[in-house]
Amino acid sequence: MKQHRYEQIAKALGERITSGALSIGDSLPTEAALCKKYRVSRYTAREALRRLREAGLITRRPRAGSTVTAAGTSTAFSLPLSSAADLFRYATDTRFVIQRRERIHAAGEDLAVLGCRRGQAWVRLSGVRRKPGIAIPLCLITVYLHESLAGLAKRLPRSAGAIYPMVEQELGVRIARIDQRIEAVPLGEPQAAALGPARPAKGTAGSAPAIGLRVRRYYFDSRDRLLEVSDSLHAATAFAYEMRLRRD
Amino acid sequence: MKQHRYEQIAKALGERITSGALSIGDSLPTEAALCKKYRVSRYTAREALRRLREAGLITRRPRAGSTVTAAGTSTAFSLPLSSAADLFRYATDTRFVIQRRERIHAAGEDLAVLGCRRGQAWVRLSGVRRKPGIAIPLCLITVYLHESLAGLAKRLPRSAGAIYPMVEQELGVRIARIDQRIEAVPLGEPQAAALGPARPAKGTAGSAPAIGLRVRRYYFDSRDRLLEVSDSLHAATAFAYEMRLRRD
DNA sequence: CCCTTTTAATTGTCCAGACAATTGTACAAT
DNA sequence: ATTGTACAATTGTCTGGACAATTAAAAGGG
């Protein structure tokens, strides 16, 4: 496993941040200093800093240099959202591993999530979302597809990226609106086990209340027909939901 | 407004995608082709493609080139005004009851929230947000104002509505961007007591883990200067965050 | 003391070139 | 028809240089 030069540098700097040697507000070495220290070209030093910025650890400004903005230890993953494009990109560099695939008729808990008429036919896909190379899944996820998408559901590979563009293509419609609902919920034992790495041991129930962040998304077409619902459950210790609102 | 070379190229390619001239699965010109066509170095061509990838429009693989992965859905969903207006409306029919008002220099926990340089001067207001006629506060809230707003902070009444319009008026600037971060956190004893109505009694510690939803908002002006930060803590049992993404 | 101007340090953009790593394609062999 | 192999197209990584744009900090003026 060859590690690239810029990865080594990014890793070294990242560890100085996560270990606390550099804390929030501190400055990192300038590009010129990194070039000299590691004997690399400016391209390589910039690439290392670029990765750190994309990881949300630092910000960079001309003349001010690179500044630590997050300790990195708190939440391992965050979902920066400023548009549906981000939603899509998040989905494309993670993979939806489908573990179950069923036809259902809305009832019980499913009905509560869907909010449709009782008995309406849907396809339910459940599984986890993974980031390649990382053992712990990012979240547990259940996707409901409208019965008119049963054909698509069958053809879906065991491991898929974003769903809603496929829905658009399948039906030839446009997703015109996405409603989101975010809430904090307690995690059950099996859920916590699936999402958490090592729980602090000592199975004395309730010692460390496992907390989750549940995100539900409802996808509507231009005539307000509900086509898809996704329900994902993240470990609160490893996930924060970020979004950006712009005003032009 | 000078537009950089790679921005021009990215824009040209992006328009071919959003206009439908290129659809999902189609290939973009290779880097070499772009270099030749636009008379630029490979650095510039790569930078253009990199932006498109970061925008979620394309994926790139060695030998396979650049492939369109998202159709016109690029800049589509965003909620520039509707949400800012909703944010405003939410704040105006509730009231921010200020309980403490201090000048601080960024350090410790404040620094972690602000993510600015250590020692920078801010004004911190803390209190609760209430809905008139309801006994239990909606949330605990801390607001940080940039030192240039110290005058405003002094004049604020004990009970105020939305803060950011006042910030805009005070400095004569426009809030151009609001970053939000939502996470689930465990509630401490005093916080749970302040937010919760009747806890299920029986103080047997840990029996009912109190869960909160923390929402942080960062308000930036058009030059990306951070002017205001709000940090609010809601009881999970009584609060869910809902939003709607539209596409015109 | 506060405000404006200048200066210089730092990142941002861009060029021209080199080699490495990956992988789709075509062709050969079974 | 399937499998394996060689080829070559394409992106990924990296060097060393140059100038532009931005802006924090210093210097100066009221």
- In this prediction, residues A90-95 reach a mean pLDDT of 63
The region of weakest confidence among A63-67, A165-169, A218-222, B60-64 is A165-169
Put simply, whether B202 touches A (Cβ < 8 Å) is no
Instruction: Give the bridge partners for A130, in sequence order.
Output: A95
Put simply, whether B199 touches A (Cβ < 8 Å) is no
Put simply, whether B115 touches A (Cβ < 8 Å) is yes
The Cα-based distances of A10 to A1, A3, B115 in angstroms read: 17, 11, 20
Residue A25, pLDDT above cutoff 50: yes
Considering just the CA atoms, what is the radius of gyration of chain B in Å?
24
Residue A82, min C-alpha distance to chain B (Å): 7
For A213, the token pair is 């962040």
Hunting for tokens 């916590």 — which residue is that?
A192
Instruction: With cut-offs at 50, 70 and 90, classify the pLDDT of residue B76.
Output: very low
B4 CB inside 7 Å of strand C: yes
Put simply, whether B46 touches A (Cβ < 8 Å) is no
Per-residue pLDDT tens over the stretch A117-152: 788 899 999 988 877 666 778 889 999 999 888 877
Residues of A from 22 to 61 whose C-beta is within 7 A of strand C: which are they?
Answer: 30-32, 42-43, 46, 49, 60-61
The mean pLDDT value of chain B amounts to 79
Looking at residue B108, its pLDDT comes to: 80
Nearest-10 crossing angle of helices B5-18, B42-54 = 50
Residue B57 near residue B28 (C-beta atoms within 8 A): no
Instruction: With cut-offs at 50, 70 and 90, classify the pLDDT of residue A161.
Output: low
- In whole angstroms, C28 C1' to B64 CA is 24
Q: Is B5 exposed, middle or buried (0-12, 13-18, 19+ CB in 10 A)?
A: middle
Residues of B from 63 to 92 whose C-beta is within 7 A of strand D: which are they?
Answer: 63-66
Instruction: With cut-offs at 50, 70 and 90, classify the pLDDT of residue B80.
Output: very low
Residue A163 near residue A91 (C-beta atoms within 8 A): yes
Strands A239-246 and A77-81: what pairing? parallel
- In this prediction, residues A189-201 reach a mean pLDDT of 71
Q: From B55, which residue of chain A is nearest by alpha-carbon distance?
A: A85
Distance of CA B68 to the CA centre of its chain: 28
Hunting for tokens 């429009």 — which residue is that?
B57
Q: Which residue is nearest to nucleotide D10 (CA to C1')?
A: B63
Residue A247 near residue B177 (C-beta atoms within 8 A): yes
Put simply, whether A136 touches B (Cβ < 8 Å) is no
Residue B4, pLDDT above cutoff 50: yes
Strands B175-186 and B159-160: what pairing? unpaired
B1 CB inside 7 Å of strand C: no
Q: Which of A89, A3, A14 is nearest to A50 (CA)?
A: A14
CB contact under 8 A, A26 and B118: yes
Instruction: With cut-offs at 50, 70 and 90, classify the pLDDT of residue B56.
Output: confident
For B149, the token pair is 């707003």
Distance of CA A147 to the CA centre of its chain: 27
The region of weakest confidence among A154-158, A180-184, B174-178 is A154-158
C chain positions with any atom within 7 Å of a protein CB: 8-18, 21-24
Contacts of A86 in chain B (CB under 8 A): 56
Per-residue pLDDT tens over the stretch B197-239: 644 444 444 445 689 999 888 887 766 678 888 999 988 887 7
Rounded Cα distance between A112 and A107, Å, is 8
* DSSP states along A129-146: EE-TT-SS-SEEEEEEEE
Residue A9, min C-alpha distance to chain B (Å): 21
User: What count of other Cβ atoms lies within 10 Å of the Cβ of residue B54?
Assistant: 14
Residue B132, min C-alpha distance to chain A (Å): 24
Conformational region of residue B204, where left means phi above 0, alpha means psi within -120 to 50, and beta covers everything else: beta
Residue A22 near residue A68 (C-beta atoms within 8 A): yes
Highest mean pLDDT among A82-96, A211-225, B162-176, B199-213: A211-225
Per-residue pLDDT tens over the stretch B99-110: 988 888 887 888
Instruction: With cut-offs at 50, 70 and 90, classify the pLDDT of residue B36.
Output: very high
User: What count of other Cβ atoms lies within 10 Å of the Cβ of residue A112?
Assistant: 9
For A79, the token pair is 């979902």
Q: Among A183, A242, A245, whose Cβ lies nearest the Cβ of B79? A: A245
- In whole angstroms, D28 C1' to A63 CA is 22
Put simply, whether A160 touches B (Cβ < 8 Å) is no
Residue B39, min C-alpha distance to chain A (Å): 22
